[in-house]
Chains A and B, each alone.
Chain A
Amino acid sequence: MIDLLIIGSGGAALSAALSATQNGKSVVVLSKTYPTASQTSQAQGGINGVIGSDDTVQNHISDTIRSAHGLGDQKSIEFMCKNGSDTIAWLDDMGVAFSRDQDNNIAQRKLGGATNARACYSSDYTGLKILHTLYDRALKENIKFLNEKIALNIIVEDETAVGLTYLDIKNSEVKTIKAKNIVIATGGYSGIYHNYTTNSTATTGDGVALALKAGCKLANMEYIQFHPTSIKGTGVLVSESARAEGGYLVTKNGDRFIDELKPRDEVARAIYQKIQDGQSVYLDLRHLGYEKIKEAMPQEYELVLQFASKYLDKDLIEIEPAAHYTMGGIKTDMAGQTNIKNLYAVGEVASNGVHGANRLGGNSLLEIITFGKYIGDIATYSTNNITNIDTLLEIAKIKEEENIKKLFHSSIKLDFYEKRDNLGETFFKNVGLFRDEKKLNIALKHIEQLQDDIQYMGVEDKSAIYNTNLKEFIEFKNMLEISKSIILSALYRKESRGAHYRVDFQDEKENYSFDTVSYKIDDDIKIENQN
């Protein structure tokens, strides 16, 4: 039996795989995509780490705590911030081509909500370069990859995770794998905001759904970060580095209306308010000049040209907020431990308290690498004493095969692609930047209807070979699985705090400084608070 099964193959997964391998453990990385296609590739702005003499770890801790609005976990935040320089050094030594300043130090830029220039970067391709360097190292270490396999169910016995059923996308076969320890590192769930997100189409909350079905607790699912600057109508991100390098946000007549480097939630709300008032909002970088833009933001220059047919150095770029990052996820402690034994979660899929109510720019890459590495170190020590794993997996496999067969043979009355569009629109409008009880209840009703209707939806493509219709239906079901947790958590939190803004409860309330915990009982979602 392998020591560690990692589901997902982005920055957190690869960091965990590398550290576990370096500890002599056997590792398998299973993912529905190829590793270099992971969401990590889209992180542009930077990775935080205190490496210069002008900044202190305490500053980084304070900034992160302030941004977390009382919901963060002090221990996790301290661990992450203290390890910042080690994480940067680990990546730099591995070969990540960080941009350098004139004194040959790793260059740093100041992102929103930070008191210092703390984000190390590689122009605006930071995530891409980190991801590929980790992948290169994983190849060197001969880590085993199972690509294009989508996880179906985690097998749990005696409150202990023992294995996984998964679908091989290439041939639609159900397979199983057992492992002493399982790490979920599948990324976030912004994909629920279909057509209203900067994320990859793969970010469908698969890991959160897996965990919820397996009996895990989720935390702070209502916390979704909307990025202020997505190119209007495209879901294509212009990174925060644009504002970090001195970009302005302006209305049509050129008026600035907010400090561009305030935390993302405040900036995004200010923009959305303008849009709701019927105004257009633009990113203005013209004063920075072509040379500076091409040097610091080559990717953004190209994206704007491609997707808005505009020149970043000459034109105003119309932008809008879009769902970008999910602070909520599988509830874990600092070490990634879920409430199920031998089951861990790390990265955006997890909620370990480092972001609280709002994530700071540059902290997500730091989180995935630092905690990924840490969990790879510690997760591989525990084993289980369950003796009938093979039988359990065989039973689970037969059940999944029947489910898939049923999908192929059911008659279809409703189109899930249309329902996926509806889901995205409902979430953006009703579980978006400005929420209230009425809107949230509209969304809840919509989700309950979809849950009733799912029996009438299915897979029209009946072929077994590379059936993306089947894969996308599984993804849609995953999104639906966790949608109710988000809405019920948002209803439960009758206050405004960080990224969760209730028009009907606009103040932050002291008695709400708890984690909103959700879990499944029978077929319903239960919500409670936990300090």
Chain B
Amino acid sequence: MNINVCNKKYTIEQKVNNILQALDFIKTKLDRSLAYRSGCKSGVCGSCAIRVNGVERLACKTDIKDGDTIEPLKNSMIIKDLVVDIEQREEILKKVDPSIKTKSDLEISAKDEKKIDKETNCILCGSCYSACAVFEVNKEFIGPFALVKSYRYIEDKKESEILSKIDAIQDKGVWDCTLCGGCDMVCPAHIPIKNNIMQLQNKSVMLGYNNPNMANYGSGFDTTVDFGFNPNQF
């Protein structure tokens, strides 16, 4: 079986079940210099996210086929081969204040817990940032996994102070997302990210925030605005 890793062709002569096993084969038998991250080999540590034929996948949970093309995640600086710089994730997460600020005394039911079940399964693999069309052009965008994190604490009944968390996701946050759903398609934890962001938008409106894009759009009807150049002297 032949596969292409970072523009290099390798022949895998041993039976392997998934991409990670193929990378391990290359590393230990063919090319000692190949760099990639891995860990749990069972889909929970988030280390081995890469792109297979252009689509973000976990190497350990992706079956291999002849001719596969393996590349690093997009939208991050490549350190070497399949290893991208993920150091900035810490700062991205800090933007959304990812922790319970004031603990409420409300009782938590199974239904309450289920509400954030999927979101608390995020493994921070970074696939969603790689697939994000907005992040691709605007690196200031808070982005998918941080917004999931925000959702997870805002919807957590244990948190009684959500206003500051909602405030933190207004600028370059929920309204910058185009709701294209690209992140949903690649999330290995099956988190409904687009839906989470839509709900965060709704919550923002309920708490008195406006969609700034709509506000700008509306300003065109404001007759007091000076449009500057006016060739017909109206």
Contact = CB atoms under 8 A, between A and B. Distances in A.
A132 B41 CA distance: 18
Given A139-B93, A466-B79, A200 B39 contact: yes
B61 A36 contact: no
B79 A100 contact: no
A149 to B, nearest CB: 12
Nearest to A36: B124
Contacts of A469: 27, 32-33
A216 interface: no
Contacts, number: 140
B72 to A, nearest CB: 12
Contact of B113 (A41, A99, A200, A418): A99
B120 A132 contact: yes
Contact of B33 (A36, A41, A463): A463
A33 interface: yes
B103 A36 contact: no
Interface in A33-86: 33-34, 36-39, 41-42
Given A104-B107, A137-B99, A139-B90, A128 B36 contact: no
B14 interface: no
Interface string B50-89: 0000000000010000000000000000011101001101
B161 interface: no
Contacts of A137: 99
Nearest to B109: A104
Nearest to B31: A461
B139 interface: no
A299 B121 CA distance: 10
Nearest to B122: A132
Interface string A118-157: 0000110100110011001101100001010000000000
A93 B106 CA distance: 11
Contacts of B109: 100, 104
A225 B208 CA distance: 56
Contacts of A107: 110
B116 interface: yes
A189 B117 CA distance: 32
A98 interface: yes
B123 interface: yes
A56 B136 CA distance: 55
Contacts of A136: 93, 98-99, 149, 153
Interface in B87-131: 87, 89-90, 93-94, 97-100, 103, 107-110, 112-113, 116-117, 120-124
Contact of A34 (B86, B120, B153): B86
Interface in B1-57: 17, 27-29, 32-47
Contacts of A39: 40
B82 to A, nearest CB: 10
Interface residues of A, number: 57
Contact of B98 (A33, A42, A139): A139
Contacts of B34: 468
A409 to B, nearest CB: 15
B36 to A, nearest CB: 7
B45 A200 contact: yes
Contact of B39 (A37, A92, A302): A37
Contacts of B99: 94-95, 136-137, 139-140
A303 B120 contact: no
A417 B40 CA distance: 19
Nearest to A99: B113
A97 B44 contact: no
Contacts of B103: 93
Nearest to B99: A140
A38 B35 contact: no
A41 B32 contact: no
B176 interface: no
Nearest to B58: A306
Interface string A340-369: 000000000000000000000000000000
A38 B47 CA distance: 10
Contact of A236 (B37, B42, B121, B124): B42
B110 A99 contact: yes
A465 B90 contact: no
Contacts of A33: 39, 45, 47
Interface string A305-332: 0110000000000000000000000000
A201 interface: yes
B94 A139 contact: yes
Given A129-B120, A137-B99, A466-B83, A417 B28 contact: yes
A235 interface: yes
A93 B100 contact: yes
Contacts of A418: 28
Interface in B135-164: 149, 153, 156, 158-159
A402 B113 CA distance: 54
A296 B110 CA distance: 12
B215 to A, nearest CB: 32
Given A139-B90, A145-B90, A463-B33, A303 B158 contact: no
A177 to B, nearest CB: 18
Contacts of A125: 44, 120-121
A95 B46 contact: no
Given A97-B117, A139-B94, A201-B41, A465 B80 contact: yes
Interface string A463-489: 101111100000000000000000000
Interface of B: 17, 27-29, 32-47, 61, 79-81, 83, 86-87, 89-90, 93-94, 97-100, 103, 107-110, 112-113, 116-117, 120-124, 149, 153, 156, 158-159
12 contacts: A36-B45, A42-B45, A92-B158, A95-B100, A122-B120, A125-B121, A132-B122, A136-B153, A140-B98, A202-B39, A466-B79, A467-B35
Given A93-B158, A125-B121, A463-B80, 19 more contacts: A37-B39, A37-B45, A42-B45, A95-B99, A100-B109, A104-B107, A104-B109, A136-B98, A170-B79, A200-B45, A201-B39, A236-B41, A236-B42, A237-B42, A306-B61, A466-B83, A467-B35, A468-B27, A469-B27
